[in-house]
Every structure is written in C-alpha cells, then in structure tokens.
Structure 1
C-alpha cells in the first residue's frame, strides 16, 4: 500500500487505509449510501402516507437535510472528544429532563417538550438516546473490562436516572429505548451471566409492581389491547385491527403506490407516523417489506462492522450500543404495527414523519462514522 505502513507491531492488522476524499470528509461511503437510499424511500412512502400532502414531504426533507448536517459535523470529531464531553453533556441532559417536568410544554396528556425563547420546541428525551450510551461507555471504559459488580451498578444508575425522569413525562416508549441503549453498553462491557440472569429475574418479579404502581391507565390498556384487540374494535383496538388489515391486504406485490385503501380512506390512523409501515405493506406487499427489511439489515451489518473494527473499548461499546438501539427501533415499530408488541409510539427509523427522532438517529450515525474514519493511520 503506497505511502502507508501498518501500525507498529501489527503488520497484518488491516487497520491502515489509503487516504481518499471519504477519509478527508470523515464519512463512510457505504453507510452514507445506504442511509440516503433509506431516506429517499422514506420520502417516497411518506407522500402516500400523508395522503399526497407535498408540504409534509418537504418538511421531512428539510429535517433530513438538517440531520445530515448534524451527522457531518459530529463525524469530524474524534471519538476522544465524545468521551471527554460525555459526563458534562449528560448533566445538561438531566437538567433538561427536570426542566421538562417543571416548565415543559404539554400535548395530548403528556409533558415532553421544552420551548426556549428563540428556539423551536424540542424533546430532550430524544437526545438522551445518544447521551446515555455514550456516558455509560465513558464510565465503564475507564477501567479494566469486564467491570466489577460495583461498576456495573454505577453504570446501571447512569441509565436508570434519566429513564425514571422520562417515565414521569409520561413516555414509556422513549424511556425503554433510552434504557435499552444504556443496558446494551453494560452488556457489551462483559458482565457475567449470573448478573444477566439476576437482571431478568428482577424484571420478572417487578413487572406486577410496575403494572400496579408505575404504568398509567392508557399504558395498561395498550397491553390489554395487544392480548385481545377485538375486545374494543371501535376504540382501543381500532388502530391495530386496521393496521393488520392493511398489512394483510397487500398480498405479495401490493395494491400499488397511492392505491392503498386503508390509509387513503382514513381507516388507518397515524398513517404517516407510527403506522407508516402498514402503508408500505399495503401498497408494495411482501416484496416491498422484504426490500425495506433488507435495507435495514445492510445498515445494521455495516454498523456492526464499524463496532468490530473500533480500536478502543469506548468506541466499541458506543458503536455496538448505537447499532443495537437502531435495530430496536426497527424491531419495536414493525412488531407493534403487526400486533406482536404493544403500541408504544416508536417511529420507524428514517421512514416515519418526525424531526427530533430523525435528527437524533442521524447524529448517532455521525458518531459511528467518526469511529470508523478516525481509526489510527500512520503514513510513511
């Protein structure tokens, strides 16, 4: 490899790369291409899901553009910068979550947003999906891995404090995503199977207590609706019944773009946000769903490659956790729209309409690109 020599002591490490435009821009061309393809598909489907409302598509395109700018900016920083600033940004995030509970803006029975003078309304809990795993990785990577029991408990505390604040908003779906993002870091740090077994046992034992003292009435109703949606077909069960009808009516190759009856005749609620995958399944059928899942699989595969090739514990933990969080987004949304999981308000990544979620996801991909493109390289 002209002009490049391996790292000392690692002649066959495979970590050296030719310097090209992508390394200079600190962008991963494979991941970027897959993301652009996914966003393009998202805008295409959104036009139908929003009932041909071009203004909605244009607004989402602007948000994608802002998210790509954020991704590019974050990709320029070395992973050490994220590690250095993690605890401070985590503290700011906790303060913002407390502010939401005190002076936040409410909508539809939930108080999840902050409206600061001169800034658009935003949802601080979305940022914690990124800050919590980075902060947990910052703490655990400071010590030898696998971590001791005491350090595992501190790592879990880093995860549980913001999770508890988000539950109070209330926003159970986001709190679970934030919690899982942090728990993935603790898991990848190498905890023993005894602790993993104890954790699942604790969750099982505490589930009845959560049902009685933590979960609100509408959250309980979602679980009951999952078990028997036909018990209230015109009320709580309406969403999932119409969603499953749309998915099933798509068949193998679908009804055709803009030809879906469930969404365009307004049977399917939230057709451009949480239930947009039902629009895709109805109009493009099994083939369309297979294509979408394949695209998601390729993105996840590339992100796992970045995690494996990372050169330090902090980068590996962050990359692995962000990848699994993205997978969780996909799994939960498709699961709830298919009637396999309760409806928890989790959008389909870069397909559903929404600004904060899209920007947060693209910011996470910016961190992944930083990890990939700042790997050490020694030139001759």
Structure 2
C-alpha cells in the first residue's frame, strides 16, 4: 500500500518540474556549495543559510511551475506596484550600507526591493503587451518604456548602477521579443552613445572611478583597482586545473574582497582552474539553451515574452559577473547566478525559473 502512495506523491512533486533544467540546476548547486564552503573559510553558518534559501527557492519554483502562466500573469500589476512602493520606501526609510541605501529592515529580516523588480518589471511589461496584443500601436512601446524607466530610475538613486542596468535590460528584452523595430533599437543605441558625455557628468564619483579603473586598474592598486587586480591574480593563478579545493592562496589569505558574493567566481577559478570554468560555463549555457527551447514552444505572447526575458536575463547576470571579475567589465555588484551567497537573489532567480517551467508545462 505504501509503494503506490509514495509513487503518487513523487509524481505529484515531479510533474511540474522540467527534468533537464533540474539536472543542470542541481549540478550548479553542487559546485556552488563546494566553492561557498571554501570562500567562507569553511563556515557552516553560510552553508546552512544557503541551504535554507535554496530549499525556500525550490518551494517557490515548484509553486510557480504548478501554476498556469495566465494565472501568474494576473499578479503582474500588483507585484509591480508593490515593488515600486518598496523602492519608494527605501528612498525614505531605507538602510544604508557602504554608502548605498538599498535595503529595507522588516524586523525579522532585511530585504532588497530592487531584486523583486528583476522579475516584477518584465512581468508587468509582458502583461501590458499581452493585454494589447491585437491592437499594438507605436505609443504602446512608449508606455512600456515608461514602465521600465520608473523603477530603473528609483534604483539608480540608491545608487545601484549594476542592478538598475539589469532591471532595465530585462524590460528591454521584453520590448525586443515584442517586436520592437531594429531601426528603433539602432536609433536608441546611437542616441545613448551620443548622450554618454551627459551620462558621465551625472554619474557618482565612485562610478566614474570604476570605469577609469577598468581601463587601468594599476593606477590605484590599493584603492579602486584593488578588487579587479586581486581577482585577476586569483583567476590567472588557477591555471588549467586549479590549485585544488580549499587550497586557494588568494582566497584564504584574504586578498579577494567580497569573496562569498560578487567575487566568488575568482575563488572558484583559483581552486578549479580553466577546466572548472569551462564546466560552469557549459552548465550555464545548457540552462540558457533549455530556456530558449521552452520559449520557442510557448503558446501565448506572454509566454514567449517572459520565457525569452527570463532566459536572456539569466545569461546577462552570468556574463556581467564573470566579465566584472575577469576585468573586462566595470565592477557593478552583480552576483553570480545560483552560486553567490545571497537569499533575495536566489529566491528571485528560482521564481523566474519556476515561471519558465510553467510556460513549458502549458504546451504539455
């Protein structure tokens, strides 16, 4: 009697989940636990917290995967409104850490509302296009751009250039998948290039210093260039096969800053080398490929827009973090997807992947 019951229970749990995505995510999770254990100086506290948020993320992902995309779509306006209100609350009552006001204290925990907008913003823009699918006009794209700029501007004021860029990039992915003309995209790129002098003057001093440091990190090796220099040394010293798990000298002599969060890729590269990097990149590309396959089979405009946006946003997060740590992009404080230590980011990513599975389940 127990075997059929267990089989039905397993089927109930397994049914909404995409097998291939779960396999790739599981392998990334194993790598993340190994590198976090080393990066945290073998701290079980961080491992325990990572496990807790991963389990919560799996529950959120499973719940989202069981829902129909149309049902999830109905949450877009209230979730977007909540996100904007929380960003306004951060502006007035936020917690300041290292010169940036990005968090809200809720008594039992601290949240970063900008992470919520990473999923709420594309949901809202996709909902908007789905609503007017049969009567799209040029002004609908202007309204969509306003929906993107409002939260993006609030995050910029925190200031958090990296997260603001990722949030607005997710919104523009929706515009692209919704059929925005290439002429408009090229025109926008030209206009942005022309506005760079103005953007430069509007940037904070520390943001301008990050750009200059990218060009020549040795100009200030003990100040603004320290992060990039130490991470590049760690990556290069790993060689083809790495120094071995728990044997990273840059890591355990405390040369790598923020080594459990933004710069965890430097720890991974030093200990697992080029071979380890190739494995991680291949796993990320497999996740992206599976996401694009699900997107291509989506049955509705909303499914195509959200599937493509979630997938490409995941790719951008990984690319920006690796590029930042390797010294080919400015340091903007973007975590490595599913590997870096961080609860809100993990929950947001798992929610997005659950929505992707939901889109794939619709076809089945």
TM-score by length of 1: 0.90
Instruction: Tell me whether 1:259 sits opposite 2:258 in the alignment.
Output: no
Match for 1:280 among 254, 259, 268?
A: 268
* Conserved 8 A contact 2:112-2:344: yes
Query: SS state of the match for residue 374, structure 1?
Result: helix
Corresponding residue for 2:3? none
Q: CA deviation at 1:24?
A: 6.8
Q: CA deviation at 1:97?
A: 0.7
* Conserved 8 A contact 2:298-2:362: no
1:1-380 equivalences under 5 Å are: 21=11, 25-117=15-107, 119-144=108-133, 147-213=136-202, 215-375=203-363
Q: Determine the C-alpha separation between the residues in 2 that align with 1:165 and 1:62.
A: 30
Q: Determine the C-alpha separation between the residues in 2 that align with 1:147 and 1:330.
A: 33
* Conserved 8 A contact 1:251-1:285: yes
Gaps of 5+ in 1: 1-19
Query: SS state of the match for residue 141, structure 1?
Result: helix
Q: Determine the C-alpha separation between the residues in 2 that align with 1:178 and 1:240.
A: 24
Q: Determine the C-alpha separation between the residues in 2 that align with 1:307 and 1:23.
A: 23
Gaps of 5+ in 2: 1-9
Change (3 A) 1:80 1:350: same
Using the TM superposition, name which of 142-151 and 127-136 deviates more: 142-151
Q: Determine the C-alpha separation between the residues in 1 that align with 2:277 and 2:211.
A: 26
Q: Determine the C-alpha separation between the residues in 2 that align with 1:77 and 1:280.
A: 36
Query: SS state of the match for residue 343, structure 1?
Result: coil
Cα distance per residue 1:2-22 (max 9 Å; x no partner): xxxxxxxxxxxxxxxxxx937
Cα distance per residue 1:293-326 (max 9 Å; x no partner): 0111111111111111110000100010010000
Q: CA deviation at 1:148?
A: 2.9
Cα distance per residue 1:177-219 (max 9 Å; x no partner): 1000010000111111110111101211222111112x11111
Q: Determine the C-alpha separation between the residues in 2 that align with 1:236 and 1:146.
A: 51
* Number of equivalent positions: 355
Q: Determine the C-alpha separation between the residues in 2 that align with 1:169 and 1:223.
A: 19
Change (3 A) 1:96 1:281: same
* Conserved 8 A contact 1:22-1:28: no
Segments ≥4 residues shifted beyond 6 Å: none
Aligned-CA RMSD value: 1.5
Q: Determine the C-alpha separation between the residues in 2 that align with 1:337 and 1:22.
A: 41
* Conserved 8 A contact 2:174-2:306: yes
Using the TM superposition, name which of 217-226 and 106-115 deviates more: 106-115
Q: Determine the C-alpha separation between the residues in 2 that align with 1:85 and 1:352.
A: 28
Corresponding residue for 2:7? none
